[in-house]
Structure 1
Amino acid sequence: MRVVFAGTPDFAVPALRALIDSAVWRPVAVLTQPDRGVGRGRKRRFGPVKRLAVDAGIDVLQPASLKHPDARAALADCRPDLLVTAAYGLILPRAVLDMPALGCWNLHASLLPRWRGASPINQAILAGDAETGISLMQMAAGLDTGPVILQRSTPIGAEETAGELHDRLADLAGEVLVDALVRLDRGTLPAASAQDEALATYAPLIDKNDARLDWSRPADELSRMVRAYHPWPVAFGEIEGETWRIHRARAGAGRAEPGELVTNRGPDVVAVGCGEGVLEILELQGPGRKPVSARDWFNARRGKQ
């Protein structure tokens, strides 16, 4: 079977590595977004998926758009039986969706139809979901609307950040993909099931301002924001007139005015009053500074007084 893999960021790497390691489904080509300039000199650098593909000696295609006839022709020359995508980042037009004999599969980081869209990991944490997972779906023209082939769930840890959950789900995606391909070879792959549109929820693109902490909100909600927006864009809020980025925090009991600094919780916690409870901050970062522990923050504050 001739498999083409399409992906770009770190999330897609374990799935591609699983295909390469399997040998049986080693991709005949990899699609990934064009190299992007980084740093002051805008020097172009390989993305994670391209780096793995090049190291493995796999042909790489990097069209700016798959709507261009030349890009589609290059893909057609690969004669794919199956196209597998994971966080590819480009729209697949109908001509591409119809190209492989077995269609196109997509690995999505949620239990569809919950959290269709660009930020499913973040939204699952923000909503306080107890679990999330990986959905392997047959791609359709809509946004993550295709029928689901396989799903595998995993609990969300009480203190797990989006970055930590991202890495676990990326590994799980590789496992789900190999499981599906094994079942496909054995003729035991279940028929894809249509998603229940009544249960669909959406995960929009994240803006940096989404991570602003409103101290009038409950501490539980703000602690989920800290986890959901780490490592990017990182939650931030005003403390004593300065904007601080909050890297680690937890909800705590107690009462204080929203935004009020609470200093009686010991040297390892910077607590701030919320609409309900207090947010106990364990690690924070000031403008132009490195992240520090609550204890170091208190020591620096004491030195200024």
Structure 2
Amino acid sequence: MKPLRTVFFGTPEFAASSLKAIHDSAHQIVGVVTVPDKASGRGQKINESPVKKYAAEHNLPVFQPEKLRNSEFLEQMKSLDADVFVVVAFRMMPKVLFELPKLGTFNLHASLLPDYRGAAPINYAIINGETKTGITTFFINEKIDEGHILLQHEVEITPDDNAGTLHDRLMEKGAQLVVKTLDGLAHENLAETPQQEKEQVKNAFKIYREDTRINWQQNAVTIHNFVRGLSPYPCAFTKLKIGAEEKTLKIYAGITEETEIDEPAGHLLADRKNFKIMTGSGWYLPLEVQLEGKKRMGIKDFLNGLGSYDNITVIM
């Protein structure tokens, strides 16, 4: 097998795992493209992406263009004479860029395409109560996540999974699939498969903060999956009134409980041992929370810190 000259495009930890897998393989990384460094926080500390950190630690050439259509950057990419571009958790690429390499540009996506195209496939698979998801490598075209499929691998979603645990498993399996895809392209034994269009394709649109508020009128299982699918980030939340103050409560984990009690959705029961909220069908019991202005904690510590339990209600 002739090693492929590869340029890698990516930003977060999910992408850095694939970069490491390629670096550990027989293939040659001739360039790494990631986002420009950003200053953040009170001290305006410069933050580098996980992909840049890995590349710098292993003396891989790094490119951080502000704009992907920049003529100087495009010339730099041409000069690398790459066989293939690999894209993992990066921004949308223009045609003038993804058509540069000899074999094309492929992307790793954290779902079984065509379902869950978009920015948040891991979150939505759990939110929607799926029992399986997966990873896909596919050639990029001008439409988002719609190119021809190269390889797919199915991954189980367990009842104990949240977005964080599923992310980590897909990250590991995805890195393996990227290398397997490169090997297949090098051996010229991979077949492209057009995505099969369905009447109803499940989407994974970008999640904004206003999308993460819990609707207590939904049933308990739906709410439970919603919390799991947003934990640990961006995290589901509800609004509480504690005395005269309104506070945001993030909920990272919880369980459901059936009941014959007929209380309206949003009714809250709190005492030294219990903290539960009525849904459209049964109780939901938060187990790990973070009250605005406080650190993340278990429900017992949260209850101990409340003091009085008579002056707390859910703001619907």
TM-align CA RMSD: 1.7
Q: State the AA in 1 paired with 2:211.
A: D
Look up the SS of the partner of 1:133 in the other structure: strand
1:26 aligns with 2:31: no
Contact 2:270 2:309 survives alignment (8 Å): no
- Match for 2:301: what amino acid? D
- Identity among equivalent pairs (%): 33
CA distance in 2, matches of 1:236, 1:200: 28
Supply the distance in 1 between the matched residues of 2:86 and 2:278 (Cα, whole angstroms): 47
Contact 1:104 1:138 in 2 (8 A): yes
Give the TM-score of the pair, scaled to structure 1: 0.93
Corresponding position: 1:258 with 2:300: no
Q: TM-score, normalised by structure 2?
A: 0.90
Q: How does 1:263-302 map to 2 (within 5 A)?
A: 263=270, 267=273, 269-302=274-307
1:76-155 matches, within 5 Å, as 76-89=78-91, 91-155=92-156
Instruction: Indicate conservation of the 8 Å contact 1:239/1:259, yes or no.
Output: no
Q: Find the counterpart in structure 2 of residue 195 from structure 1.
A: 195
- Say which SS state the counterpart of residue 69 (structure 2) adopts: coil
Once the two structures are TM-superposed, the CA of residue 60 in structure 1 deviates from its matched residue by: 0.3
Matches within 5 A, 1:6-21: 6-21=9-24
CA separation in 1, counterparts of 2:17 and 2:80?
22
> Cα distance, 1:304 vs. partner?
6.7
CA deviations on 1:246-292 (whole Å, 9 max, x unpaired) are 1111222114321112358x82x521100111111111121101122
Give the deviation of 1:226 after TM superposition.
0.9
Distance 1:98 1:285 in 2: 47
1:216-263: CA deviations, max 9, x gaps? 111111111111111222111134554311111122211432111235
AA in 1 matched with 2:239: E
Contact 2:35 2:65 (C-alpha < 8 Å) held by counterparts: yes
CA contact (8 A) 1:35 1:47 kept: yes
Other-structure match for 2:169: 168
CA distance in 2, matches of 1:246, 1:304: 18
**How far apart are the structure 2 equivalents of 1:6 and 1:243?**
37
> Between Structure 1 and Structure 2, how many residues are aligned?
300
Q: Does 1:36 align with 2:38?
A: yes
* Unpaired runs of at least 5, structure 1: none
- Hey, what does 1:233 align to over in structure 2? 234
Encode CA deviations 1:136-185: one digit per residue, 9 max, x unaligned.
Answer: 00111100010110000101121211111111111111110112222333
What is the DSSP-based 3-state SS (H/G/I as helix, E as strand, rest coil) of the residue aligned with 2:287?
Answer: strand
Counterpart Cα distance in 2 of 1:118 and 1:125: 14
- Structure-2 residue corresponding to 1:220: 221
Q: Helix, strand or coil for the counterpart of 1:299? A: helix
Query: What's the CA shift string for 1:33-55, capped at 9, x where partnerless?
Result: 11111211322221100000011
Q: Distance in 2 between matches of 1:301 and 1:39?
A: 30
Q: Contact conserved, 2:137 with 2:150, CA < 8 A, in 1?
A: yes
CA contact (8 A) 2:114 2:195 kept: yes
Shift of 1:135: 0.3
Question: What do residues 103-147 of structure 1 show as CA deviations (whole Å, max 9, x unaligned)?
Answer: 001000010000101111111111111111110001111000101
Residue type matched to 2:284 in 1?
Answer: L
Measured in 2, the distance between the counterparts of 1:302 and 1:294 equals 13
Between the aligned partners of 1:44 and 1:299, the Cα distance in structure 2 is 39
Name which of structure 1's ranges 119-128 and 39-48 shifts more when overlaid on structure 2.
Answer: 39-48
Does structure 2 conserve the Cα–Cα contact (< 8 Å) formed by 1:240 and 1:261? Answer: no
Name the aligned partner's letter for residue 33 of structure 2.
Answer: L
- Counterpart residue identity of residue 245, structure 1: K
Unpaired segments of 5 or more residues in structure 2?
A: 311-316
Moved more, 295-304 or 280-289: 295-304
- Paired with 2:269 and 2:203, the residues of 1 have a C-alpha distance of 37
Q: Which amino acid aligns with 2:24?
A: D
